[in-house]
Amino acid sequence: MQVELGAEWSLMLYTDGLIEGHVGEGRERLGQDGMVEMVRRQFAEGLRGETLLQAAVNEVRRLNGGELADDVAVLLLDRSA
């Protein structure tokens, strides 16, 4: 599939270790929807680039109550006009 990205865009790739972190004390996980919601909020707050990546990983760790059990890798590609 080909997608026209336009003049400004961002693409975040991440391993499942990031979205499989727990949210609070129970067994609920962050999941893809939770990750998208969190990153959209952080982006709306003005976070970009390395700051956005670090904030996302830190928030996932905080929600999990500490370090994540699985591998975590995140890559952000972006282009601004």
Model pLDDT, residue 69: 87
Contact indicator for 3, 74 with CB cutoff of 8 Å: no
80: left (phi over 0), alpha (psi -120 to 50) or beta: beta
Confidence of residue 25 (pLDDT cuts 50, 70, 90): confident
**CA angle, 16 as apex, 37 and 9 as ends, to 5°?**
50
Mean pLDDT, all residues of the chain:
92
Q: Please provide residue 48's backbone torsions phi and psi, each rounded to the nearest 5 degrees.
A: -145, 160
Structure-block tokens of residue 50? 């390395």
pTM here?
0.85
| pLDDT tens per residue, range 35-66 | 999 999 999 999 999 999 999 999 999 999 99
Model pLDDT, residue 52: 94
